[in-house]
Chain A
Amino acid sequence: METVLSIQGLSKNFGTLRAVNQINLEVKHGQVFGMLGPNGSGKTTTLGMLMGVVNPTSGSFSWFGQPPSNQIRKKIGAVLEHPIFYPYLSGQKNLELMALIKEAPVSNIQKVLEIVELSDRKNDKYKTYSLGMKQRLAIACALLNNPIVLILDEPTNGLDPMGIAEIREIIKRIANDGKTIILASHLLDEVQKVCSHFAVLRKGTLVHSGPVDDVGRGEEHVEVIAFHDDIAVILENFSGSLSVKKEEHQFVMKMKEGFHSQDLNRYLFEKGIVVTHLITQKKSLEKQFLEILAEAEHAALIKN
């Protein structure tokens, strides 16, 4: 697969603060790449460097194998932090101006306004827009020049649930078109729902990067509820059980490698027990994320 973005040892200092520390990263064509990290972990600073507004202290990066330049930026659609437009211009005029800057065909304006469903408000001044509309106009602007790559930084920040759902829908639609998307967020649920790959930043350091699908791997956790007096003992005796924990009214069994919920189901059935509830816990990105951060914290403590 073609490499879209390659980062080598990128660092940024603000005074004595090291905001981004020696980041190495690759993003391939067609990936929806999530950048995770707590607030202040260096996501926006990293994206700022990639888009030429923050000067790196050291390190380098390349887009499509070429050194960064303003010509390349024209083919990248980016919304960093919050939407930025001229408040006294209408949505339409703002997009006309951006089309001039990006050297995009003017006919695209109508198209992108339709994608984000802003056509009927296009002649109103930007300052009269609601936050959700501003956010959508920013996405329209990012799409203006048929970008090969889309960079979205907290695109659902401050939106109501409906706005969040709308933006997520738009992102999915764009991803289905085969565009590469880099999405920075601290909303893990969001990243898990739309991303194919993700990286985790902590205090400016990259602590993890890999496909989202890997998140579910590892030993399975199965929730069981069954009405039987000896159920605890019977569960303990299951040959595929690593450990059994009682949580309120249910049991959670950690499975040995190679054992799955259907094996447990069969075992219980053979013992004459019919369960009322049997579910494989899906390991969430949230859990994984917290684990990664905890590990990184631990490693940092040992190092010091």
Chain B
Amino acid sequence: MLHLLKIDLKKLIDYRTFWIVCGLYFFTLIMGAASGMEFLKWLANIIEGFGEKFNISRIPLYHFPDIWQNLAWAAGLLKLGIAIMVVISITNEFTYRTIRQNVIDGLSREQFLLSKVLTNAVLSGASMIVVFLIALVTGLIYSPEYDFPYGLTGIVFYPAYFLEVFGFLSFALMLGMLIQRSGLTIILLLTSYLIEFIIKQNIDNYLPGLIPFFPLESIMNLVPMPLSRYWFQEIRDYLTFGSLAIALVWTFLFNYFAYLRLKKSDI
């Protein structure tokens, strides 16, 4: 396992595009997550009366325990950045035909796929750790009081965030494996939300019960949008077994479809 991971990381470590895309991704992740207060101030500036209706410094955006879900959710919006890197990494193997040479040189097709999946897990894990650390640091800075263990409620959203990123990267890997061309894959990755949205809207009137079972929906559902609690709406601030199970099944299926495709095709 470690050996396979080493192989795939070796392909990336001297690849400048990898560092640029990852650098941009983690930079946005860190800056985005750390500048929520600035964002609120900006909102107060441009929306008339916003600052009067809400006292922004009293919105506990960065207070324990709110911060855990807030940041996990916000970070989830940025996962597309790292998914593009995954698409580039897999479609490169097809355009350079290096996947063929890898198999000739002695990787089995399963091992090749596994090396990619392991890299996905590492990227997801790195994202999770980065966001967790930002949440911890900014929470310690902004929270008026530390009330542990109550302050730790919602920390369960971090494994969920990991699954959210990993599931989406599995989706990106599968698309790359099926389409094999980077441009087309990225376009499809971008429009997949739109396509799913349209289908969901059409189905909403007849079978609303089906909606949580949609692949991208199920990934988004892991960490639900928390901000509406600040305008006094009920939100789900806990992880449900159902959302977890559906997302897990989809993640498995994405990787399984990629495996089937690789197994059957001549490379």
Q: Which residues of A contact B (CB under 8 A)?
A: 48, 51-55, 69-71, 73-74, 78, 80, 84-90, 93, 96-98, 100-103, 141
Known contacts A55-B266, A73-B104, A78-B104; is-contact A100 B98 (Cβ 8 Å): no
Known contacts A87-B96, A88-B14; is-contact A101 B102 (Cβ 8 Å): yes
Question: Could you list 21 examples of A-B contacts with CB < 8 Å?
Answer: A52-B108, A54-B266, A70-B106, A70-B107, A70-B108, A73-B105, A78-B104, A84-B100, A86-B96, A86-B98, A88-B14, A88-B15, A88-B16, A89-B14, A90-B14, A97-B7, A97-B11, A100-B7, A101-B7, A101-B107, A103-B106
> B105–A53 contact, CB under 8 A?
no
Chain B 1-39 against A: per-residue CB contact (8 Å), 1 yes, 0 no?
001001100110011100000000000000000000000
Chain B 231-266 against A: per-residue CB contact (8 Å), 1 yes, 0 no?
000000000000000000000000000000000101
Q: With a CB–CB cut-off of 8 A, which chain A residues contact B98?
A: 84-86
Interface of B is mostly: helix
Closest 6 CB pairs of A and B: A74-B106, A70-B108, A84-B101, A73-B106, A54-B266, A51-B104
Least Cβ–Cβ distance between B228 and chain A, in angstroms: 46
Least Cβ–Cβ distance between A50 and chain B, in angstroms: 10
Give the contact-size bracket for chain B: 20 to 34
Within 8 A of A (CB), among B15-73: 15-16
Q: Does B137 contact A (CB under 8 A)?
A: no
> A102–B16 contact, CB under 8 A?
no
Q: With a CB–CB cut-off of 8 A, which chain B residues contact A100?
A: 3, 6-7, 10
Least Cβ–Cβ distance between A55 and chain B, in angstroms: 6
Least Cβ–Cβ distance between B242 and chain A, in angstroms: 39
Q: Which residues of B contact A (CB under 8 A)?
A: 3, 6-7, 10-11, 14-16, 96-98, 100-108, 111, 264, 266-267
Least Cβ–Cβ distance between B173 and chain A, in angstroms: 19
Q: Which residue of B lies closest to A74 (CB)?
A: B106
Known contacts A101-B7, A101-B106; is-contact A53 B267 (Cβ 8 Å): yes
Q: With a CB–CB cut-off of 8 A, which chain A residues contact B15?
A: 86, 88-89
Known contacts A70-B111, A88-B15, A96-B10; is-contact A102 B97 (Cβ 8 Å): no
Give A176 to B124 CA distance when docked, in angstroms.
51
Give A141 to B101 CA distance when docked, in angstroms.
10
Q: A53-B103, A70-B111, A85-B96 given; name 4 further pairs at CB < 8 Å.
A: A51-B103, A74-B105, A78-B104, A86-B15
Q: With a CB–CB cut-off of 8 A, which chain B residues contact A73?
A: 103-106
Give A87 to B98 CA distance when docked, in angstroms.
10
Least Cβ–Cβ distance between B24 and chain A, in angstroms: 18
Q: With a CB–CB cut-off of 8 A, which chain A residues contact B103?
A: 51-53, 70, 73
Give A159 to B106 CA distance when docked, in angstroms.
28
Known contacts A86-B96, A87-B96, A93-B14; is-contact A98 B105 (Cβ 8 Å): yes
> B10–A80 contact, CB under 8 A?
no
Give A55 to B260 CA distance when docked, in angstroms.
13
